[in-house]
Structure 1
């Protein structure tokens, strides 16, 4: 049999394994090993390539640190304070608690950088409260899943780090470029949430209380400080994204270690409502003890241990695809579309379809090196295309049949996967609308970067 026939058989075999529920990491690994034998590539070469991915990848060190940050802010109670503040601001609107969960997803994403961590944390905290508040359990779980999509768009973002590493782009610029699109994604989902809840009459309204907003805002000040610390450090160039991740981890550990004994002295528990906390106690979170740190680190390491090999094996997969001429085939197809918008929309369609069956990491590693140069040839700014690409990849988190966030939300809420799809589709519509806006209006990605409108306003027109 020819090499092409063998590769087709291998591809069909791993596709069958994927449909049977085999983890994506093993699927890609089996395909890489099988194709290596067909193409007479030694396993020594494959092992060397796997090692080279991380040999000079200083930027990738930020990934496990931001994953750890997400677990630390969840365990310390900072995430709960942020969700309390969001509910105080939005609870007076129809669907206010659901919109607050979306807002909390945006705030949590601004520290953690992970879609699955955002979905799991906010879903486990607010899904029970939403069900008690009169929301449909399917809608509640779908809201957590949809909110988690901004986890990789609002900086800091693990996938932006990977994209910048692959395409040799400034990660700090990518972070800043994701701010406005990520915020628009949250806003668009809130609008859709308000419409759905108004039609169905879901949610109990609370009175808008400025004192409650003020108290919860004060209670969440450590979360706001952590967000500001990351963005300030990266935006001003005081430290790199990797250094920012280390600083944030250190900040969260110090805050939690100081807060735990302080709460014991003040006599406050995690379940104490924010309205009953004294002014003094609102300045500290629940925290955790020194003994709990190893278990938190182990949990974060487990997630990092899944993502890191997936990055490495996906890079090798991309190299094999290059040897097979996949870049030329896809590149020729996309280039053949013609001008700026035909090429851009075709690339978006490819990303959307890939996101339906693969996680954002392999989608990025495999397709970005193919599509980004073609987009640059027709005049798409590399930073803008990065945001377009990754917004499209994030939409894949709630797009069946894969839809990673749907599986995560199903796991933490107990709502079956297929029961989430109806309401996830509604959020999908709002996210796609934002996606096309980001593609059509480059200023949405670049306005905070040097030369952008808001940047020039803030710096008095002296950027550049």
Structure 2
């Protein structure tokens, strides 16, 4: 048989393995090994390339640190305080608790940078509360899954770090470019949530209380400080994204360890309603002991141990695809579409389809080096295309048959995967609308960067951020 026939058979075999539930990492690894044998490449070459990915990837050091940050803010109670604040602001509207869970996802994402961590944390905390509050359990789980999509768009973002590493783009610029699109995704999903809940009359309303809003804002001050610390440091150039991740981890450890004895002295309990807590007790989060840190680090290391090999093996896969001519085939197809918008929307369609069957990391590593140069050749700004590409990849988290966030939400809530699909598709429409808007209006991803609208027209805000620079 010819090499092409062998590669086709190998591809069909790993596709069957994927459909049978084999982890994506092993599927890609089997394909890489099989194709290496067919093409006469030694496994030494593959091993060297795997090692080389991390030897030259200083920016990738931010990934495990931001994952650790997410686990620390969850364990310390900061995530709970952020969700309490969101509920105090939105609970008076129909669907307020569901919208609050989406808002909490946005706030959590602004510290953790992970979609799965966002979905798992907010889903495990608020899904039981939503079911008690009169929401359909399927809708509640789908809301957590959809809200988690912003985890890789609102900075800091693990996938932006990977994209910037691959395409040699400033990660700090990518972070800033994701702020407005990520915020629009949150608002669009809140609107969809409000419409769904209004039609179905779901959710119990609470009275809008300025005192409750103020008290929960005080309780969430550490979360706001962590968000501001990351954005301020990166925006002003005080530290790189990798250094920002390290600073945030240090901050969360100090806050968690110091808060635990203070919280015990005040006698506050995590399950105490906000109304019954004193303002003084709201200032201090639950925290954790130094003995809890090893278990938190191990949990983060387990997630990193899944993602890091996936990045490495996907890079090798992309190299083999280049040797097979896949880059020229896809490039020729996309370029043949013609002008600016035909090329851009064709690239978006490819990302959307790929996101239905693959996780965002392999989608990014395999397709970004192919599609980004083509988009740039027709005039698409590299930073804007990065945001367009990754918003599309994030939508893949709730598109079947893969839909990673749907699996995560199913796991933490106990609602079967296929029962989530009906309500997930309702959020899908709002996300696609934002995606098209980001593609059609370049200013949405460039507005906070030098030369952008807000950068040029709000000098006081810019001055406040750059005062210490």
Q: Same fold per TM (> 0.5)?
A: yes
Q: What TM-score comes out, normalization by structure 1 length?
A: 0.99
Shift of 1:456: 1.2
Shift of 1:117: 0.2
Match of 2:107 in 1: 107
Mapping of residues 65-464 of structure 1, within 5 Å: 65-459=65-459
Tell me if the contact between 1:219 and 1:274 (Cα under 8 Å) persists in the aligned partners. Answer: no
* Residue deviations 1:182-220 (CA, integer Å, cap 9, x gap): 000000000000000000000000000000000000000
Tell me if the contact between 1:352 and 1:393 (Cα under 8 Å) persists in the aligned partners. Answer: yes
Matched position secondary structure for 2:9: helix
Matched position secondary structure for 1:400: coil
* Residue deviations 1:58-87 (CA, integer Å, cap 9, x gap): 100000000000000000000000000000
Tell me if the contact between 1:67 and 1:113 (Cα under 8 Å) persists in the aligned partners. Answer: yes
- The alignment's C-alpha RMSD in Å is 1.0
Shift of 1:281: 1.4
* Distance in 2 separating the partners of 1:457 and 1:19: 51
Match of 1:23 in 2: 23
> Is 1:43 aligned to 2:51, yes or no?
no
Matched position secondary structure for 1:215: helix
Matched position secondary structure for 1:272: coil
Matched position secondary structure for 2:235: helix
The number of residues matched between the two structures is 463
Shift of 1:272: 1.6
Tell me if the contact between 1:359 and 1:396 (Cα under 8 Å) persists in the aligned partners. Answer: yes
* Distance in 2 separating the partners of 1:158 and 1:459: 30
* Distance in 2 separating the partners of 1:435 and 1:278: 43
Shift of 1:282: 1.3
Shift of 1:275: 2.1
* Residue deviations 1:351-398 (CA, integer Å, cap 9, x gap): 000000000000000000000000000000000000000000000000
Tell me if the contact between 1:337 and 1:343 (Cα under 8 Å) persists in the aligned partners. Answer: yes
* Distance in 1 separating the partners of 2:205 and 2:220: 22
* Distance in 1 separating the partners of 2:375 and 2:246: 34
Shift of 1:459: 3.6
* Residue deviations 1:295-323 (CA, integer Å, cap 9, x gap): 00000000000000000000000000000
* Distance in 1 separating the partners of 2:266 and 2:46: 57
Shift of 1:56: 1.4
* Distance in 2 separating the partners of 1:352 and 1:422: 19
* Distance in 2 separating the partners of 1:446 and 1:350: 24
Tell me if the contact between 1:92 and 1:205 (Cα under 8 Å) persists in the aligned partners. Answer: yes
* Residue deviations 1:237-293 (CA, integer Å, cap 9, x gap): 000000000000000000010100001111111112222222221111000001110
* Distance in 2 separating the partners of 1:293 and 1:438: 40
* Distance in 2 separating the partners of 1:11 and 1:280: 61
* Distance in 2 separating the partners of 1:456 and 1:54: 38
Match of 2:60 in 1: 60
* Distance in 2 separating the partners of 1:231 and 1:428: 28
* Distance in 2 separating the partners of 1:20 and 1:172: 40
Tell me if the contact between 1:153 and 1:391 (Cα under 8 Å) persists in the aligned partners. Answer: yes
* Distance in 1 separating the partners of 2:348 and 2:134: 38
* Distance in 2 separating the partners of 1:187 and 1:459: 25
Structure 1 stretches of 4+ with a deviation exceeding 4 A read 460-463
Shift of 1:118: 0.2
Matched position secondary structure for 2:279: coil
* Residue deviations 1:385-423 (CA, integer Å, cap 9, x gap): 000000000000000000000000000000000000000
Unaligned runs of 5+ in 1: none
Match of 2:6 in 1: 6
Unaligned runs of 5+ in 2: none
Tell me if the contact between 1:101 and 1:147 (Cα under 8 Å) persists in the aligned partners. Answer: yes
Tell me if the contact between 1:32 and 1:320 (Cα under 8 Å) persists in the aligned partners. Answer: yes
